[in-house]
A and B are shown apart, each in its own frame.
Chain A
Amino acid sequence: MSQMNTQPASLPLRTVKVDYLTRVEGEGGLYVRAEGDQLREVKLNIFEPPRFFEAFLRGRYFQEVPDITARICGICPVAYQMSSVHALEAALGVKPGPEIRLLRRLLYCAEWIESHALHIYLLQAPDFLGYDSAIAMAADHPREVEQGLRLKKIGNNLLELMGGRATHPVSVCVGGFYKVPRRRDLLKLHADLEWGLNASLETVRLVAGFKFPDFAPDYEFVSVSHPDEYPMNERRIISSAGVDVEPAEFERVFAEEHVERSTALHSRKVTSGSSYFVGPLARLNLNREKLMPRAREAADTCGITWPSRNPFQGIVARAIEMTHAYEEALSLIEAYQEPARSREDLRVVHAGEGCAATEAPRGVLYHRYKINDQGLVEFAKIVPPTSQNYRRMEDDLWLYLPGILDRPEPEIARACEDLIRNYDPCISCSTHFLRLKLDRE
């Protein structure tokens, strides 16, 4: 018997490594090390290269900011435009009128629709139905894939109508819009939006019928909250553990820290140091009574008990939110009156500081800016939803992995990827995501 072999046969060293996480936005990997059934190390490696937005925004004119921050993410540019215009308007002491507010909600509905349809049908449904991609899935489920593509396309059409193009639309500015849509043009989308509402209700039934792993950690859910409406652009920040603060207090309650394995910063609660959960599941759990009537009915009758602590049911929350976005878009378009002026006059500016949190498709997106009396940015801070979820993803992996460590490594890797995809991580956004590596000892 070899003296070198000090490891009992029952405790094989194992490592699982996912070099590149797939069907996520951006680049990251995962490293797991286990000794027998004892998990020793779990690391999300974020190697998406840093792009330094907060650094090069300094010195730029405030009105350039929404166009620049849009480029943080090609999937959710509207979210970056919305958080930046609200934060900058707070800094400048400007409050656009009610028509602008409703148009911004309509634009956000369009982005939620295209982003949620993309994630549900093209990125995550293949996990539940056992395919490597929606393209492979299309061979056996052509109707579902075609439905997903059309749902996504209608969201993009609405973005194009309001902003000229679906990715990095050009209409949003601090103070309002460069140009507002014509009522008659929006009404042309009415029939498509009605189709989308019904197809979204079908989507809720489809995804609520998926088989979900039995997994329900004790999460703290965090979202934006508004007294009268499902959260999008404003305004307080609440949690399932009793947080209820103005955006100005965000940084006092939640902090980012820099960990060695990552070009993304990871967020935690300041007081407890613990992780928290942002995104559709958090929003739905905290704001279900604010859903539009048909979305609410779908949530109450889909067979899932809310609040849900099962992250795999995030796909159902996403489908319910897509329903909500279609339903609200219809109601906004029906009520829409073209405003007399599309934006506030901001030719005279003063120095100021302001912050805002809005709900990106993936969760809370916080921005804070300081501008000088020339209107130039002196300081910028951006906290994307995915960096707030990283610590929670790692905590999930610590809880989830022990139950599956006896499986073959490719299966473990796939299960970890499936778990992480629940969060619809956007690594491009948060870098400032996944290769799996598992070491078994």
Chain B
Amino acid sequence: MASEARPKLAVYKFSSCDGCQLALLNLEDELLSLVGAVEIAYFLEASSATLPGPYDVALVEGSVTTAEDVERIHAIRKDAKCLMTIGACATTGGIQALRNWKDVNEFIRCVYARPEYIHTLKDSTPISKHVKVDLELNGCPINKVQALEVLTALLQGRAPHLPPHAVCMECKRRGTVCVTVAQGIACLGPLTHAGCGALCPSYNRGCYGCFGPMENPNPDSLAAHLLSTGVSRSHVIQLLRGFTGYSDAFRAASDKLERIAQ
């Protein structure tokens, strides 16, 4: 196949753990065919060779936390026909968005002996707060099978098949007995976007929301239920303020619970 016929793929990293980029390298069985179908034009974690833009697809991992990040994401957007965020950090701000409820300067003093050397923004924000995003892939980390589906759909020019329902549906499908109903464990499954295969309940624990909110969730109802079963308000707030806590739906719900408490 002539190399100019292959779409050019670029992979970028912002503030993150590298786990979502790694999901691409974890496609061990498909990796070599994938690089036959697309040209890896920019992927620093995997290759020292880079090709100039523009790129057909830009995959963005990580959240925006510095002034340079803001400039960089705009430049990336200009260079990319299709920009897709991969993972909870890029899509919702990530676990590092817990700073958004606190004083970042106090955080800097807590971790670094010389605060004056550190330059960071007050908030950790998702990519969509800064530029237009064409597609968002959820997960902390993303599910590599979903990543492959999205790339395949893009190559075939069709819409990707990403089921929009809640984790609860995945529990029913795999036959996991509801951990909230049967064991009284606090679980974000009813609010959380499917995609992981309902892993946590199958390990006797509650979902901690790493795929972010599903479309039109009802967090108030879940919070009321959890409170009625004796789960403390602070526990529900912390559960909502996890890896996707800065998503609009989870943030609104945890802020509301905090206001009621005051």
Mark A residues whose CB is within 8 Å of B: 20-27, 47-52, 54-56, 58, 60-61, 64, 67-68, 71-75, 77, 118, 122, 126, 132-136, 138, 142, 145-146, 149-150, 152-153, 156, 164-168, 170-171, 173, 178-179, 257-260, 262-263, 265, 414, 417, 426, 428, 432
Contact = CB atoms under 8 A, between A and B. Distances in A.
Contacts of A156: 26, 28
B44 A50 contact: no
For the complex of A and B, list the 10 residue pairs with the smallest distance between their C-beta atoms, beginning with the closest. Answer: A74-B19, A133-B47, A132-B49, A55-B107, A153-B28, A56-B98, A164-B199, A51-B96, A149-B28, A74-B17
B202 A257 contact: no
A167 B22 contact: yes
A135 B44 CA distance: 13
A27 to B, nearest CB: 7
Given A56-B99, A71-B19, A156-B28, 20 more contacts: A21-B44, A23-B44, A51-B65, A52-B96, A55-B107, A56-B96, A56-B98, A74-B22, A74-B141, A77-B17, A132-B47, A133-B47, A135-B31, A149-B31, A153-B29, A173-B205, A178-B205, A262-B117, A263-B118, A265-B112
Given A23-B47, A165-B196, A50 B112 contact: yes
Contacts of A61: 235, 238
A126 B45 CA distance: 13
Which residue, of A145, A168, A265, has the highest number of chain B Cβ atoms within 10 A? Answer: A168
Nearest to A51: B96
Interface in B19-50: 19-23, 25-26, 28-29, 31-32, 35, 40, 44-49
29 contacts: A22-B45, A23-B47, A23-B48, A25-B18, A27-B13, A27-B44, A50-B108, A52-B99, A54-B111, A55-B107, A55-B111, A56-B107, A58-B110, A73-B17, A74-B17, A77-B17, A132-B48, A133-B46, A133-B49, A135-B35, A135-B46, A156-B26, A165-B143, A179-B202, A260-B117, A426-B18, A428-B16, A428-B18, A432-B112
B56 interface: no
A386 to B, nearest CB: 12
A202 B94 CA distance: 41
B82 interface: no
Contact of B32 (A49, A138, A265, A432): A138
A167 B26 contact: yes
A170 B20 contact: no
Contacts of B21: 74
A52 B110 contact: yes
Given A145-B32, A167-B26, A263-B118, A20 B44 contact: yes
B170 to A, nearest CB: 12
Contacts of B106: 55
Given A136-B49, A153-B29, A260-B114, A168 B108 contact: no
A200 B116 CA distance: 47
Interface string B202-222: 111100101000000000000
B114 A71 contact: no
A257 to B, nearest CB: 7
A52 B108 CA distance: 7
Contacts of B124: 51
B66 A49 contact: yes
A22 B18 CA distance: 13
